[in-house]
Amino acid sequence: MDRDQILTTLRERILAFATSRVSRDHAEDLTQDVLAVLHDKYPTVNELTDLVPLAFQVLRYKMLDAHRKALRRGEYNQESIEELPLADINDDPVTQLDQKQRVDRLLAAIGQLGERCQALFKWKLEGKSFPEIQKLMNQTSINTIYTWDLRCRTQLLAFMGGSWE
Amino acid sequence: MAMSERNLEKLLGGFAADTLTPDEQQQLYSAALQDQELFNSLADEQGLKELLADPVVRRRLLQALEKTRSTTDRNPTSWLDWFRRPSGLAWAGGLAAAIFAVVLGTTVYQESLKQADRSVTIEEVPPNTQPASESSVPQPASPPISEPRLKAPTATKSAGAPGQETRAAKAAKQAAEVLAKSVEERAIVDSELDALRTPSPATPHRSPPSNEDAPDSADQKGASAPLPSLSVPTPTAVPATKEPTGQIGTALSARSLFYGDTAEFTPGLMAGEQKERLSHPSQMGNLTGSTKPLGIRYNLVTHGVKEPHEGGDVGALHLTNSIDLMIEANQDGFFHVWGETGSQPPHHLFPLTEEDPIASRLIAYQRRRIPVLPVYRTITIHFSRTPFGTLSNKDFVEMNRVPSGQLQESSASIEASGSQDVSIFVANQDPSAAMLIVRIPIHQP
């Protein structure tokens, strides 16, 4: 699958996903913005395993940006560009607070996991792959590790309140 | 590695942690492009992926996990936490209950062993003390009485031969034997007490034991076996070798026996009686009467002049007119009166019908009057605890032998009218004697 085919497929998936989250018009705008970024800023990325996660990352940024814009709706177009302060290269306080709260929730959720799930999560944070975890947990089948990880992930998501955000 | 598209969801965890192998990434992303649902899941997972991609956040998470894991490894469960768990509480409770049960069982077992030893010791004491009591009585020793008792501890010792059983096993065995014995004795005593509470009017006839019927040593041993629950003095407390009759007659009087002086019973006969009671628990209705010797009081009332006879026969009277025989007994019983004229065979005077137990019934200390025609030279009174059967003249002659141990005593008293009333007391010092036979000669004028 070449880059154009991947981008075409990505556009369909991104539009469908965005439509499920925002309005149709905004979804099309989001999709267009994502593809524009991939086309303009990452023209050399051709591999599937690189383009897809990159597309997810850009899509998330664009959706968060659209969310912020929606919050500031009305102010965005009324103020002149000259009166706006210079943008901070670091995250804004709202983003920092949001991230801090998410981390705290994640820590609390991980603390509620069972011993095996905590061990599994720890090894994943250490960068160990599923085959490596399979050896660490002395399991003959890697599907066992996949199943355990899926259950642990489901539990963690439940402890997080049903969303990672 | 081939995975179905549905199982590719399992790779989402690796996507967020960015730990997927290139092969897994290829499969997951290719599937995501074909499956909108999987694509949406990956898009949602992107937030966690970014969070975990932050080195600071990842380090904090790792530190938190390490801290939790080290706490678990060093002290998997503190005692307090362990006790807080229901399973821990259940285990602790069960263990405590088991320890309590073991301690309680051990204590009860030791107590039972001590009690068994005590019972065995008590049971072994009488043979040791018996010779002392026997030696204080200047009666000839009766070896057959003590021998079986002395054999009892020997048998006990032989049963518990050292080296064959442990001390605990021997003690338990002795306890079981003592327990069985006490239960058996308790059953006998209970039946005896029940019989005492509800005396039966129709008691079976028991023949009076003669000297030949005196209990042998084996019987005395059985009768003198300790009865812990009996309140009456056991035969072991008194000399067991005294002769039943004729030896303590000087110390007893018919009058005292009649009025219930039972303090000087002959123990040999009493032992025999007790043996008989134990062998026939159903006859316990006679227990009260049997512990009291049979006794009657009579006098002859003449209508007219009454002159006491001055001869050797106590109670013989000179007849001047008709005679009334006044008779009373010290306990409920039955009596017959026979008259003899000398030339004629014995004649039944009372009751009119020999097989009339109601008419011949004599209530304790209730005087009965029997009119006697002045033609008889001798009248004979038979008094028994049990009803008489039909007696022929031959039977009368055969049973007319006065039982041994029978005492007779006359007692004169001045009545309010100034006349002198002579009463004759007849009693058998043998409390087991079932019949009194009194022959009263009547002197014709």
Q: How far apart are CA B64 and CA A106, in angstroms?
A: 11
Q: Residue A1: list chain B partners with CB under 8 A.
A: 30
Q: Is B428 exposed, middle or buried (0-12, 13-18, 19+ CB in 10 A)?
A: buried
pLDDT digits (tens, 9 = 90+) for B33-42: 998 988 988 8
Considering the domain architecture, whether residues A40 and A98 belong to the same structural domain is answered as no
Q: Per-residue pLDDT tens for B295-315?
A: 999 988 877 654 554 444 444
Q: Which of the residue ranges A46-50, A79-83, B398-402 would you say has the lowest mean pLDDT?
A: A79-83
pLDDT band at B97 (very low <50, low <70, confident <90, very high): very high
User: Residue A26: inside a domain, yes or no?
Assistant: yes
Beta bridge partners of B371: B324
Asked whether residue A78 is domain-assigned, the answer is no
User: Within this chain, do residues A64 and A97 fall inside the same structural domain, yes or no?
Assistant: no
B431 close to B403: Cβ distance less than 8 angstroms:
no
Q: 């439509």: which residue's tokens?
A: A19
Do B13 and A153 make contact, defined as CB atoms within 8 angstroms? Answer: yes
**How far is residue B180 from each of residues B125, B154, B177, B215, B285, measured CA to CA in Å?**
19, 19, 5, 26, 26
Q: What is the ipTM of this complex?
A: 0.82
Q: In this predicted model, what pLDDT tens digit does every residue of A107-165 receive, in sequence order?
A: 888 888 888 899 888 898 888 888 899 999 888 888 888 889 888 988 888 888 888 77
Q: Is A149 inside any structural domain?
A: yes
A101 and A61 co-located in one domain: no
Look up residue A16 and give its two tokens: 């469908």
Q: Are A127 and A120 in contact (CB under 8 A)?
A: no
Structural domain for A16, as ranges: 3-71
Window from A16-20, B51-55, B173-177, B289-293 with minimum mean pLDDT: B173-177
Phi/psi of residue A75, nearest 5 degrees? -90, -25
Question: Once rounded to an integer, what is the mean pLDDT over residues B29-35?
Answer: 90
Answer yes or no: do A55 and A104 share one domain.
no
Q: Are strands B435-443 and B317-318 parallel, antiparallel or unpaired?
A: parallel
Contact assignment for A106 to B51 by CB distance below 8 Å = yes
Number of domains, chain A:
2
The pLDDT, as a whole number, for residue B173 is 62
Residue A85 within any structural domain of the chain: no
Q: Does A80 fall in a domain?
A: no
Query: Does any domain span residue A103?
Result: yes
Q: Hey, how many other C-beta atoms are within 10 angstroms of the C-beta on B286?
A: 23
In a domain, A12, yes or no: yes
The model's confidence at residue A106, banded by pLDDT at 50, 70 and 90, is confident
Q: Are residues A97 and A129 in the same domain?
A: yes
- 8 A C-beta contact, residue B187 and residue B179: no
Q: Which residues of A touch B22 (CB under 8 A)?
A: 49
Q: Is the pLDDT of residue B104 over 90?
A: yes
Q: Are residues A7 and A67 in the same domain?
A: yes
Beta bridge partner(s), residue B364:
B329
How sure is the predictor about B10, in pLDDT bands with cuts at 50, 70 and 90? confident
Q: How far is CA A53 from CA A29, A131, B64, B191, B258, in A?
A: 20, 22, 28, 102, 128
Option in A13, A124, A147 nearest B39 (CB): A13
In contact, B383 and B433? CB cutoff 8 Å: no
Contacts of A63 (CB under 8 A, 6+ apart): A18, A21, A22, A30
Within 8 A of B42 by CB-CB distance, chain A residues are: 52, 56
CATH for A114:
1.10.10
3-state secondary structure of B410: strand
In this predicted model, what pLDDT tens digit does every residue of B354-391 receive, in sequence order? 666 677 888 888 888 888 887 888 888 888 888 877 66
The answer to whether residue A51 is domain-embedded is yes
Nearest by CB to B42, from A56, A118, A124: name it.
A56
Output the pLDDT for position B136: 42
Q: Are residues A99 and A149 both part of a single domain?
A: yes
